[in-house]
């Protein structure tokens, strides 16, 4: 039983025997099976190729002209537009904005164009449209929230109010609560650049201003409510934001300290000086020194509800400089009050 075996390479196994057999060595039944197997493989290949070609054609049509697919697909007229949003826009606004023709079917809708129509309003940050068969269009929106407002006068001297979001987008604003809009400070000292197709290019520096306003709104809401104008005129050059409130004509914020510290200092200064009228508080120099300028006694009642700079609240870069205006409730106050710089106290360490 035991044959001589040497310890070399592994021996060949029956699996090394090739199982290919020439058709002439096969029986008649074997050859029939061989032909049938070829036919089967051929048929499967043809079916797969057909399915692949059909899928490719479908994809091409979908990408180039999806409305061509409307005819073969049984689709009912659009009856419902369902909106999901994180903001204030409603379905009526969406329907108005999309301007859908009457009797249009779901498959006839060009979702790309409709999405562009929604995004044309800068209040809409993102828009997603989905067909839900048989007759519903699902619209999901993400909206921008305003951080301040802006009045612009065009060449025909007509003024129009806009809202500005944290990312600097300028938009008209729809469906916002009037009290909410009325509580926003006006923006000053920015130059708007009209862009092709309407609207304006984004305003720079709004992230910083939004941080300041949010910090104030959260920590000192009473103080924030008295803020009427936030000026960015010195932001690019000096990194300063000038706020004009009902009680203080000029509050200068800088970028040296964080806004929370500066607002805390402001609150402390106002608490210290509540009996005296103040015309200017400069928080931009750091927390060690806060120059405070007191107003002269005869002009101590500034009543500066909303002083507006001579340059206007905002003006078009390429358009005529326009006369800045205030809302009607504040229009009776002087647009800009110049205080001579004769402080009774030059500065004060806090």
Partner 1 sequence: MISRTKYIGAVEIGTAKVSVLIGEVTNSRSLSIVGMGECASRGVIKGSVFDYKAASDSAHSALIEAERRAGVRVDEVYLAQTGGHLDGFSSDASVQVSAANNMVSDFDIDTVCNMARSKQLPEGRMVVQRLRRPFRLDGRLVPDPDSLVGRELQVGYFVVHGQENRIADNIHVIRGFNVRVSELILSSLASGAMVTAPDERQHGVLVLDIGAGTTDYVLYRDGMPQVAGVVPVGGSHLTNDLALGLRLTEGQADKLKLRCGRATILTKSREEKVWLNGDFAIGDRQFPKLTIEQITSARVWELLEVVKKKLGPAFEPDRTGAGVVLTGGTAKLPGIAEAAGKVFGLAAHVSEAPAWVSENLRDPSFSTVLGLLHYGLSSRPEVPTAARRSPGLFKKLFASA
Q: Which residues are at the interface with partner 1 (CB under 8 A)? A: 1-14, 16-17, 19-21, 25-27, 29-31, 33-34, 37
CA 339/CA 249 separation, integer angstroms = 9
DSSP bridge pairs for 80: 136
Task: Report the DSSP beta bridge partners of residue 162.
Answer: 150
**Cα separation of 250 and 159, whole Å?**
26
Task: Give the dihedral sign, CA 257/261/267/273.
Answer: negative
Nearest residue to 127 (alpha-carbon basis) of 84, 169, 170: 84
Parallel, antiparallel, or unpaired: how do β-strands 80-85 and 190-192 relate? unpaired
* Exposure string for 55-73, b = 16+ CB within 10 A, e = fewer: eeeeeeeeeeeeeeebeee
Residue 218 zone, left/alpha/beta (φ > 0; ψ -120 to 50; rest) = alpha
Minimum Å gap between C-beta 46 and partner 1 is 21
Instruction: Tell me if 281 sits within 8 A of 309, measured CB to CB.
Output: no
Contact indicator for 32, 40 with CB cutoff of 8 Å: no
Q: Are 83 and 91 in contact (CB under 8 A)?
A: yes
């Amino acid at each position: 039983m035991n044959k001589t075996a040497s310890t070399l390479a592994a021996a060949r196994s029956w699996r090394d025997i090739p199982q290919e057999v020439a058709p002439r060595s096969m029986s008649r039944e074997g050859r029939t099976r061989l032909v049938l197997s070829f036919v089967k493989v051929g048929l499967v290949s043809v079916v797969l190729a057909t399915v692949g070609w059909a899928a490719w054609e479908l994809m091409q049509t979908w990408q180039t002209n999806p409305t061509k697919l409307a005819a073969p697909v049984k689709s009912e007229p659009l009856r419902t537009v369902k909106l999901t949003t994180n903001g204030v826009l409603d379905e009526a606004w969406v329907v108005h904005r999309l301007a859908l023709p009457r009797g249009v079917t779901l498959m006839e809708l060009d979702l790309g164009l409709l999405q562009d129509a929604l995004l044309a309003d800068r209040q809409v940050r993102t828009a997603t449209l989905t067909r839900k068969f048989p007759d519903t269009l699902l619209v999901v929106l993400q909206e921008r929230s305003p951080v301040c407002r802006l009045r612009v006068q065009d060449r025909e001297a007509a003024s129009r109010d806009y809202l500005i979001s944290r990312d600097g987008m300028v938009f008209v604003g729809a469906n916002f609560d009037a009290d909410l809009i009325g509580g926003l400070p006006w923006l000053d000292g920015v130059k708007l650049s009209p862009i092709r197709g309407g609207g304006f290019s984004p305003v720079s520096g709004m992230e910083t201003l939004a941080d300041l306003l949010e910090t104030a709104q959260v920590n000192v809401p009473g103080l924030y409510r008295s803020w009427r104008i936030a000026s960015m005129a010195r932001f690019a050059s000096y990194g300063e934001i000038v706020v004009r409130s009902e009680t203080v004509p000029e509050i200068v914020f800088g970028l040296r300290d964080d806004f929370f510290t500066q607002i805390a200092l402001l609150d402390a200064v106002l608490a210290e000086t509540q009996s005296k009228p103040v015309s200017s508080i400069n928080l931009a120099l750091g927390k060690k020194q806060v120059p405070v300028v007191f107003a002269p006694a005869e002009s101590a009642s500034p009543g500066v509800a909303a002083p507006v700079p001579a340059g206007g609240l905002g003006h078009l870069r390429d358009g005529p400089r326009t006369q800045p205006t205030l809302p009607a409730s504040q229009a009776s106050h002087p647009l800009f009050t110049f205080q001579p710089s004769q402080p009774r106290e030059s500065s004060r360490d806090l």
